[in-house]
Chains A and B, each alone.
Chain A
Amino acid sequence: MKIVTRQVPGKPLTVTIEYPEYTESVKGLIKRIESLDICFRAFLDERQMRIALSDVYYLENVDRKVFLYTKEDVFRLDASMQEIGKITEDSDLVRISRTCIMNISHLTEIKQLKNSHLEATLDNGEKLIVSRKYLHDIKRRF
């Protein structure tokens, strides 16, 4: 694979992909590049901010309110888990339980605990409980 980069002043960031044939790898690459453009409008102490998908560690629904977790901060989102699921389809965000969506690009390990619950560890050390029902969905992303 060749990577060609060039500066073109006055034009928006453009990614051109040339391929000999359209394979699953190319399709996956396109989806991953597209997902880099996804941003969330989130609130921190009533201040509205834009959070890039790559900065999201996980999203959690607590008492019908959705919270977005980055490496260090927690934001509030004005969206339902269903809406987020639709927007982020085929991105790195994957549902891991009824109330939690995790960014698998920050996943470092999944393990089965002694009580047979599943636990995901993120690269900031945070641990999340994974429902067995959604394990297959995580596997499909790898």
Chain B
Amino acid sequence: MPVRKILKETCMLASLMILAAFTLSIIWSGITAEITLVLALFGLALIITTVNSFFDEFLSLSIFLSYIIKYIIFSGIVMLFGFIAGWFFPSNFWMAFIYVGVVMVLAFVIDAFTVKRDIGYINDHIRNGSRNGDIRPELNRDGGQV
């Protein structure tokens, strides 16, 4: 199983475990500060994912410019959300730029690497003339030419 798939499924399972554990906690002991924080993080993730999806759908910019604009927008969202949720105060609001900056740099590196790898994969398959659904030689049980 590819490492990427394992990581993806781990993240999804962790999210489900967090939601399940906190749902039970809410039922038994009501909403605590930790639960509020986790729910706020899920809410923030939902807003950022939605904005990101619209951004990618409607704007076609270079990867660098796209990440610069996203950095500004997401910093603004995190800052606004942070003020509402009580994470930031006027004295430390700039922390949002650091938090978002770290995530954006990681996302940029992964995105740039993934795009390069996907292009290589597609071009290799075009050159080799192989596609999903092609009957490959290893499936050739009669020994005839494919």
Contact = CB atoms under 8 A, between A and B. Distances in A.
A139 B133 contact: no
B131 interface: yes
Contact of A138 (B63, B122, B134, B146): B122
Dominant secondary structure at the A interface: mixed
Contact of A25 (B58, B62, B139): B139
A16 interface: no
A80 interface: no
A25 to B, nearest CB: 5
Interface stretch (A5-13, A49-57, A66-74, A111-119): A111-119
Contacts of B57: 98, 133
A142 B122 contact: yes
B132 A142 contact: yes
Interface in B120-146: 121-123, 125-126, 130-136, 139-142, 144, 146
Interface string A52-64: 0000000000000
Contacts of B27: none
Contact of B135 (A1, A139, A142): A1
Contacts of B126: 107-109, 142
Nearest to B63: A116
Interface stretch (A26-34, A38-46, A81-89): A26-34
B111 interface: yes
A115 B62 CA distance: 5
A47 interface: no
A140 B132 CA distance: 8
B56 A133 contact: yes
A116 B115 CA distance: 10
A29 B115 contact: no
A112 B116 contact: yes
Nearest to B56: A133
Contacts of A138: 118, 122
Contacts of B135: 1, 25-26, 29
Contact of A139 (B64, B111, B122): B122
B56 A25 contact: no
A131 B118 CA distance: 13
Interface of B: 56-58, 60, 62-64, 111, 115-116, 118-119, 121-123, 125-126, 130-136, 139-142, 144, 146
Sorted from nearest, which 4 A-B pairs have the closest CB atoms?
A28-B133, A142-B125, A116-B63, A133-B56
11 contacts: A2-B144, A25-B133, A25-B134, A25-B136, A110-B122, A110-B123, A117-B60, A132-B63, A139-B121, A142-B126, A142-B130
